[in-house]
Structure formats: structure tokens, C-alpha cells
Structure 1
Amino acid sequence: MSAGSVAVVVTEEIGIPSWDLYELSIPCTVFGKAQADLADPWYELMLCGTGEGERPKDATGTGLVLRTGHGLDDLVRADTVIVPSVPDAFVEEGKPLPEALILALRRAYDAGARMVSLCTGAFALAEAGLLDGRPATAHWLHTAQLAQRYPKVRVDDSVLYVDDGDVLTSAGLTAGLDLCLHLVRRDLGAHVANQLARRMVVPAHRPGGQAQFIDLSVPETDDDALAPVLDWARSHLDRPLTVRDLALRAVMSPRTFYRRLQEATGTTPLQWLLTQRLGRAQALLESTDLPIEKIGELSGLGTANNLRHHFLRHIGVSPSEYRRAFPRTVPGAGAEAGSG
């Protein structure tokens, strides 16, 4: 399966604050380095500069000068177009983005490209009219401005990212990495995304609906206290786990465990378990030939009917349809699927 081409927009003529280099680096790291043992061919990455105005001596405020090998005309031939954070001058001061950029985004979308924004890149997609009538997000510090400036956009400031099919948006910083790994998962399957995440030493999958942790810049709970029991739960998803079971293993009362997990992840214990079980089922569907009934058992989702119910509700397709959408990524893995 071909991974396709990814074009990343670089607004070098306006200048990018140093912390925004993180958003720019994310797609370069995820899509720019070949991973032939995971998928061959890998993605083709293009950095596309807007190319207007005089490039400042120091475009980033960090001693770096941004230079690109492609221009806006190349967006139209990309399978995926990613707009990382746009400059603060546009978000905070209302300075206009280049008209050539807005037109290029529209042309790329009309040509069938999947449009993606990281953090305040959503402002560029909104300016191009690509978010009208759609759900979208950005970093929670800027979602109020996004909603005020573009009232046709259904802004959600509580989620990590929004997948609306051919248009996807993410919150800031690490949420952009979550979205890029989600794209790899969509394109190449859970096994490839999980292995790539492992190489990057980051969580393999955080669902888009997970909270942005708006009030947890300095968490009040010790996440390390939860890690062992959550790791254990992931290894025993085929068991009928309850909140009480997990609380006892964590040496907490059920009420305390519930509160701490919700503070740490933004979700309830039962919802966390469901997300983990769905992820396990996805990986088994992609990497094994096991029957649907067996996958329901191994993932802890129960019968084949129950598995279908959760897939249709949370993923939008049946397990069989999901399996047909992905190639086998781990030949011969069926014999090992029941371990753990």
C-alpha cells in the first residue's frame, strides 16, 4: 500500500516563533524519514514555502533560517496537506496570511487532498473556508479566537484532535504528534503506527476525544502511581476487568482510583478500558486472520455481536469492513495473538 505524498506548509516570510518549530518538526519526523521495514514505499515529504516577501535573516527567532525545496504550486499534487502553526502575527494581531497560500489550500482541497492542521494552523484552513460547517479544534489558548473569527466553524476546545474525514485538526504541541500518528494508523494500520510510536518513545495511541488537559499543566496527581496498574490492564484486556479490580491492584479505593485516572487521562476508567480494547481489536484485525469471535474474546469486548456494536459506534465501520481496509502487517501473527 502506498503511503502517498505529504506537503507541509512553511510560512517563512512572516517568521515563526521558536516554540512553533515543534509543530513544524512533527510531520518532518513522522513522514520525512523512510521506514522501509514498516512500509515501503514510505511517505514522500515536501516542505512548501509560501515564497512571498523578503525572507528575514532569522525567520525563527532561534538563529535558524527556513528554506524549502518546494512552493505553493506543489500543494495541488499532494495526497495530504499539513499546515502547522501559523505566525502569532496572524492569530494575535490579525495580520493577513498570504492570499497565495489561501488560494493554494483551496486548490489542493478541490484536487482531493486530505487537509490537516496542527495547533493554530486551523486558522489557515478556516480562512480558506475549509472548516465551514465542520467540527475543528486548536490549542485551547486560541480556540475562543478561532470561534469568534470564524463563526461557521464548530470549534471544540476540549479534544486532542478532530478527524472529520478529509479535513483533520489538532490541538497544540504533542496533540499534533497524536494526530500525525493517527494519520499513519489510518493509512498503514495499527501495527505500523504502534511500531513508529515505539521508535519515537511516545504513546502509540491517544484517542482524539481525550481531553486537552486544560487544567493539568501542573498535575496534582502522581501519574507514576497509575502506570503499573494501567500497564497490567493492557496485558489482561481479555479478562472481565472492573474499576474495583484496578483500584485494588493500585492500592486505592475505587473512588480515589476513578478520580486519579480521570485527572490523568481526561476520561473515566470504563471509557479508558473500552478505548484500549478497541485498539487491541484493531491491531488483531489488521495483523491476524483470527475469527471475529476470537478477536472479541482476546480484546475483552466479548461476543462478535458486541464487537460489531462497538466498532460501528466508535469507529464507524464493522470489524469485517475494517479488516478489509488494511493489509496484513505481521505475517503469521495469529499464533501469538492470544499471549498476554
Structure 2
Amino acid sequence: MRRIGFLLSNDFQLMTLASQCVFEYANVVVSDCFYDVDNFSIEGGTVRTSLGMTVGTSSVQGCGEVHTWIVVGVNDPLASRVSFREPEFLREEVGHAQRIAGVCTGAFLLAEAGLLARRRATTHWAFAREMQRRFPDILVEEDRIYVVDGAIWTSAGMTAGLDMALAMVQMDLGAAVARSVARKLVMHQRRSGGQSQHSEMLDLADKSDRIQKALNYARKNLSRPLTIEELAETVHLSPRQFSRVFTQETGRSPAKAIEGLRLEAARSMIEQTRHPLDVIARETGFTDRRHMRGAFIRGFGVTPQAVRREMRDEELV
């Protein structure tokens, strides 16, 4: 039996407990009590959710052996006061637990405990840059669903905790069990850790009509070279005016924005189709497969081949 301990603190976000269902249904699938899930807090007793409900917890004192600790998040980690006892407890558990995870902004508590120092980690996109500012020794990957660095796991927003929990089940019980759990929970698929938290087009949204028109044109014509002159012509500006206005409104050059759109389109094709990488590179406007590979490493930190291998593994889940 593997004991999963959820560490709660007042004003935690109730949705972060949803991942408990993943472990519950893993037990159903294997017809055994493989996981034992408990709620804990430092002192025990009732803990208040951000919605005002209360949840009963046991004290971490004398909690016994826990295989995996999962620290839940709060709506605003910047406004929440962290008791020194929680980071101290987590530091002590590093040498005992097999895994320690932070769901959503729960990663801030791991950071306070020093568990993320010189490690890769993620958190909710709205707080990722603040985490990087406050803890410069963390390698924050703000555009990841979840990140695994050794025994330390962190996830993005609260629903990403489901994906992270499924990844734990896959590690513990295999791909077939994780796939069955996902089906029972009516999850379309388990998102891989490398998937983006948000869309390139959403990042570039809320701009003027002419810049949006140019972006929409680019997205529909990614297989073309898409020169500055061509994009400028679609919105009736000179190339120099277009570059200046585009950079002012989006905070990046047209070339960088177009590369972002190409990367997003290429990744989507890799994840959703079986087209050869050469074909995907051509269809999304990269010079060749080698050019696409370099862009992937810069943009995602992984190669297109790694994304494809990950998606093949997903098909087995």
C-alpha cells in the first residue's frame, strides 16, 4: 500500500483535492487498496477552504510513513501567510517520502521550504514570474502542465493536478491502469507534462484590429515564408511602420511572434497526427526538420522527437 498525504492549510482551493479521485479510481481498477489517501495539516482538526467550507484533517505529528506528500494550492499565494512549521515539516520529509508534490500554487510552499532550489518547477501561469522573482535559484518553466525533477513534482493550475496524479499512477501501476482511470473519470486524455498552459494566440490577444488581422493572416498561411512586407501589406502599413506598431503592441518582434505560432501549430500536429516530422516542418513553415528542431529546443526545451515519443506513450495510457 502506498499512502498519499495531502497537506492542507487554511484558505486552500477546494479544486486541488480533485486529484484524490485519481488515486481512488486506481484502487477500483486494480481491485485493491493500493493507495491510501489522507488529509493532513500541521496541527490537525478542521481546515477552511477558500469557499468557506471546512475539511477534517489529521495532524502531521506522528503521521507515520507517507509515500507521497501533495501540497495543495491557494487562490493567492502572495497574500497567504506561510507558517514556518509547514516548510520545516516538508524539509524533514525530503529524506523520508518517495515523492513530494505541489499542486498549482502549492509549489510556493515547496519553494519556501527550499525544495525547489536549483530544480525545474512550474506553478499557475499567473504566479510563475513572481515565483521566479522571489526564488531566482528555481528553474521556473512557466509554460508546462507539470514538471518532474527527481522526487519533486509540481503542477500548473488546479486541473493540471489531475494530469500529474495520473502520471504518478502510470509510474506506479503502469500505462494500462492509468488509461482505465482516465476513462472512468471521463478525461479525454492525460495531458503530457510538456503541454502548454496557454495558447500563443491568447498571449497575443487584445491587440488592435490591424495587428489581429495580421496575426490571423499569419496563422492561416504558416506554410508560406511570411515576410514583413507581406504582413504589412495585409494591414496597409509600410514594413517599417508595421514592425514598430507590432512590437509596441505585442512586446515582441513579428519574427518572434510568427515563430511562436509555427511552434504551436507544429506541436499540435505532432500531438494529434501521425504525419512525419518532415511534413509537419513543411506545413508549419519551417525551412526543414532541422530548423524545426532548433526552434523546439529554444521554445519548449525538448525536441520534436521527444514530444512524439511522449505522445506515443500517451496512447498506451
TM-score range, shorter chain: 0.5 to 0.7
- C-alpha change, 1:197 and 1:37, in structure 2 (3 Å) is closer
Partner of 1:254: 283
TM-score (norm 1): 0.61
Q: Show the 5 A alignment for 1:1-340.
A: 2=1, 4-12=2-10, 15-16=11-12, 20-26=13-19, 28-33=20-25, 35-38=27-30, 40-51=32-43, 59-68=48-57, 70-73=58-61, 77-86=65-74, 88=76, 91-93=77-79, 95-215=80-200, 233=274, 241-242=275-276, 254-255=283-284, 273-280=308-315, 283=316
Task: Please report how far the alpha carbon of residue 99 of structure 1 lies from its aligned counterpart in structure 2 after TM superposition.
Answer: 2.1
- Count of aligned positions: 248
Contact 2:65–2:97, Cα closer than 8 Å, also in 1: no
Alpha-carbon deviations, 1:47-73, whole Å to 9, x = none?
A: 002338x968xx3353522222x1122
How far apart, in 1, do the equivalents of 2:186 and 2:170 lie? Answer: 16
How far apart, in 2, do the equivalents of 1:55 and 1:191 lie? Answer: 37
Task: Please report how far the alpha carbon of residue 186 of structure 1 lies from its aligned counterpart in structure 2 after TM superposition.
Answer: 0.6
Partner of 1:307: none
How far apart, in 2, do the equivalents of 1:123 and 1:231 lie? Answer: 33
Unmatched tracts of structure 1, length 5 or more: 222-226, 234-240, 248-252, 257-261, 285-340
Alpha-carbon deviations, 1:218-248, whole Å to 9, x = none?
A: 9989xxxxx9x97775xxxxxxx4368899x
How large is the RMSD of aligned CA atoms in angstroms? 3.8
Unmatched tracts of structure 2, length 5 or more: 206-215, 220-267, 286-295
Task: Please report how far the alpha carbon of residue 201 of structure 1 lies from its aligned counterpart in structure 2 after TM superposition.
Answer: 1.2
- C-alpha change, 1:149 and 1:136, in structure 2 (3 Å) is same
Q: Which amino acid aligns with 1:22?
A: M
- C-alpha change, 1:117 and 1:76, in structure 2 (3 Å) is farther
Task: Please report how far the alpha carbon of residue 87 of structure 1 lies from its aligned counterpart in structure 2 after TM superposition.
Answer: 5.4
Task: Give the share of equivalent positions with the same residue, in percent.
Answer: 29
SS of equivalent residue, structure 2 residue 154: strand
Q: Which amino acid aligns with 2:123?
A: A
How far apart, in 2, do the equivalents of 1:167 and 1:77 lie? Answer: 17
| Bigger Rg, which one | 2
TM-score (norm 2): 0.65
